[in-house]
Chains A and B, each alone.
Chain A
Amino acid sequence: MSNVIQTPTLLAAAITTALLAGCAGQATSESTAAPAAEKSMAAATMAMAGPAPLAPLGEPPIPPDNLQSPAKIELGKILFFDPRLGGDASTGCSTCHEPDQGWAWAEDFSRGYPGTVHWRNSQTIINSAYFPRQFWAGSASSNESQARGAARGGVAGNGEADIMEARLRVIPEYVERFREAFGTEWPIVRDAWRAIASFERTLVQRDTPLDKYLLGDKSALDAEQLKGKEIFEGKGGCIQCHNGAITSDQDFHNIGIPPNKRWEEDGLAQITFRFEQYAKGQTQEGYRKAKSDWGFYYRSKNAWDKGKFRTAPLRYLKYTAPYMHNGVFYTLEEVVDFYDRGGFDEDGRTTLFKENKSSLIKPLGLTDDEKGALVAFLESMSGEEMLMDKPAMPEYAPLFTKAELEAAQEAK
């Protein structure tokens, strides 16, 4: 199995890295996608030799069909914090991506829409601009589609497009801001996702100790962190998947994460668990017997994808505990111990799909010092905490005056 899995993984990593380079170039030079694709193929071929090295983060890629503008970014910022972009006007992006909780949510499962709890861990927005795949099973391919998906998901925003769009239209400040940013007479909800994505593309962190080090400041990492880097790239094998500038190959792996025990203890979580089996198109048999998140399987429907999740980027993780797709680990020490044991938690639990567990995951034999160094290095991938005050929310106002309504009544 190792070769079958490993090779595409490395290939994907190389393509990802090359695409990022290509897109970053596009933002400034407006080059077309074709040369970028050629570059990635060339890079992919070259990369067969090994994983892409860690690299400093460049400018985030900007999609040519949603270029940045100050008006759009400012609008996106307000929308990101506006709970009215959800079903009952209580749940917006920032509800589960709180700036002071690492732009994520500091519980194992994201909080979810009122009356529900989510079933996966909320991921940070920081540096999401770079990810060609979003959500834990990679079901969104852009910040735009991620925002749309999250706002509409039954245990996330639970909003429908028409009511959210209508809401934006009875908020005069939004009408003005959408007109300025997009040139439309009335706000269109699709443009809300575009504005939010533009705002998210400003939430990047490129000045971490690791970036500084990789850019030539050899004092940016201390001795322990350098030791950790060596383990990361060597004995720990982390770099096999956590590689390149975004520290993720953006591929899908089963690393042995055990099911969250909350599903055994929390009725609300059990409801969502079954709903997700239903909503993600499980077979009747799968719905009946599933006792863990089948991950990438829901998208591919291939048995060998059960329990696989997209490699999580490691940047900004100092502020984004808990970790893993189901938030089972609350500290980096636990994470390192998990890998050191070869993908088992402290109770010896692992994935329910052992047959799919990556052969890259095996006991590492790390000493306590080595584990400490690895944690120290992981923390060097985070810079200062990025906090932000919530902007003032624009208010609803009537679109018509009483006099206009009376005139319309008279004209009936």
Chain B
Amino acid sequence: MGVRVKTGHTLLAATLGLGMAFGAQAGKYPDITSLPDLKINAAKAELGKRLFFDRRISGDAGIACSDCHKPENAYAHPDALSPGYPGNGHFRNSPSVINAAHKKVWMHDGRLGTNLNDVTREMLTEDYIMNMDMRIMQERAKQDPKYVQMFKDAGYGEPSNGSIRKAIPEYLKTLTSVNAPIDTGKMSASAKRGQKLFKGKAGCIQCHNGPLATDGKAYNTGVPENFDIFLDPMNHHAFIAFAMFQGIEDYMNLKRDPGYYNITMDAADTGKFVTPSLRELKYSAPYMHNGMVKSLYDVVAFYNRGGGKDSRKDSRLKPLKLGKQDIKDLVAFLESMSGDPLTSGQHVWKDPYPAEYPVIENWTQVKN
């Protein structure tokens, strides 16, 4: 242990009895290092960018990806619960999609673990999200000469729903943290103190580790339920549709979000949610899977209390006994994992979309 313990804070943590086990494990968790560079095809990403901000790829042409993943909110949404498709609400917080291309598991309950193509398909077609019949989506794209050209330039040939589901993930690759102090090394003294707490006394690193500051696994931290899921029928019926479709029993009487239970159907996993990445938190409030925590200060205070109340709560969550300055330092460190806002034209499609679909001239003579 002596070899691994490098800082006074860690020693302090050990002496405070926050788990000899943890102390023994210090150093076994991968550091939060810079994200690897991704190879990006510029033409495909540019096409994906136009699609991401285009409302015409939802069923009633009412919402775009960017309506729930807003650039000014770090590509998350400022409401506790995502707005969802017109005609219904939602039951979870819209997460930032910055760095989504670096993830191995997506959705708060971790139900998607393959690739962003599948995630894109899920978002487009799910009835309470974008409710898009992808065959109509494809034909809409084919009716827009700008898309016809962009698909061609990207090497996709004519627009198709398959290439839409490739182009959006290509664009998402461009949404990678830029100039985050943790990557540049330009961290404040407070952030540096917070980093030590993060790895030491506060124990955050146990789950929030690696380049994304997440281990991609699901835990129960006792986040309180968001009653608005159930008290607002618009949200509740989206939740019911979800639970019904996922095959969760007794879904009409559910008064909580079952979380990772959805994947395993093991009661022990009830209330577990996948460790979120801590990158780009600065502009993506509120926090947690259901948006129940409003600020980073509140997040740290939540863990300082030892998390919330749940009989299945992870046993590692214990009161941390952090002082006010410790909390501030941890917040400073969390903020140091946020980079520049990705709100310029480099990442945001700013040109207007046509108000109407132009007619294909000479229609009877040309091939569809």
A-side residues, CB < 8 A to B, are 84, 86-90, 113-116, 154-155, 158-160, 162-163, 165-167, 169-171, 186, 263-268, 270-275, 277-279, 287-291, 396-400, 402, 404-405, 408-410, 412
* B286 cross-chain contacts in A, Cβ below 8 A: none
B136 and A116 form a contact (CB under 8 A): yes
- A412 close to B311 (CB less than 8 A): yes
Q: Known interface pairs A268-B357, A270-B359. Does A88 touch B255 (Cβ–Cβ under 8 Å)? A: no
Given that A154-B136, A278-B139, A289-B367 are known contacts, is A166 also in contact with B60, CB under 8 Å in the complex? no
- CB-contact partner of A279 in B61, B62, B135, B360, under 8 A: B135
Tell me how far the C-beta of B254 lies from the nearest C-beta in chain A, rounded to whole angstroms.
9
A158 B60 Cβ-Cβ under 8 A: yes
A residues within 8 A CB of B310? 412
Is B230 an interface residue when CB atoms closer than 8 A count as contact? Answer: yes
Assess the A167–B227 pair: CB atoms within 8 A. Answer: no
The listed residue (A163, A186, A263, A398) touching B238 by CB distance below 8 A is: A163
Return A235 CB to nearest CB of chain B, in Å.
35
Contact between A162 and B127, CB atoms less than 8 A apart: yes
Cβ–Cβ < 8 Å partners of B230 in chain A: 398-400, 405
A271 to B359, CA, bound (A): 10
Q: Are B231 and A400 in contact, CB atoms less than 8 angstroms apart?
A: yes
Contact of B136 with A270 in the complex, beta carbons under 8 Å: no
Say which size band chain B's interface belongs to: 35 or more
Which residue of A89, A264, A275 contacts B86 across the interface (Cβ within 8 Å)?
A: A89
**With A115-B56, A405-B255 as contacts: A277 and B136 at CB distance below 8 Å:** no
Chain B residue at minimum C-beta to C-beta distance from A290? B368
Is B256 in contact with chain A by the CB < 8 A criterion? Answer: yes
- The segment out of B75-83, B240-248, B342-350 that lies at the interface is B240-248
- B363–A263 CB distance below 8 A: yes
Using a CB–CB distance below 8 Å, which chain B residues touch chain A? Answer: 56, 58-62, 85-88, 127-128, 131, 133, 135-136, 138-140, 142-143, 222, 224-225, 227, 230-234, 236-238, 240-241, 244-245, 252, 255-256, 271, 309-312, 356-360, 363-364, 367-368
Q: Which residue of A has the minimal Cβ distance to B243? A: A166
Contacts of B236 in A (CB 8 A): 170, 398-399
In the complex, what distance in Å separates the CA atom of A246 from the CA atom of B56? Answer: 42
The answer for the CA separation of A151 and B60 in the assembled complex, in Å, is 14
B127–A267 contact, CB under 8 A?
A: no
Closest-by-CB residue of B relative to A277 is B368
Interface contact A170-B233, CB-CB below 8 Å: yes
Contacts A266-B359, A271-B139 given; does A412 touch B309 at CB 8 Å = yes
User: Contact check: which of B135, B222, B358, B367 meets A267 at CB < 8 Å?
Assistant: B358
Residue of B nearest to A115 (CB): B61
Contact B357 A267 (CB under 8 A): yes
Q: Which residue of A lies closest to B234 (CB)?
A: A396
The answer to whether B368 touches A287, judged by C-beta atoms less than 8 angstroms apart, is yes
CB pairs A–B below 8 angstroms (5 shown): A88-B131, A154-B59, A169-B240, A408-B256, A412-B309
Min CB gap B198→A, angstroms = 28
- With A84-B87, A405-B231 known as contacts, the answer to whether A271 contacts B136 (CB < 8 A) is yes
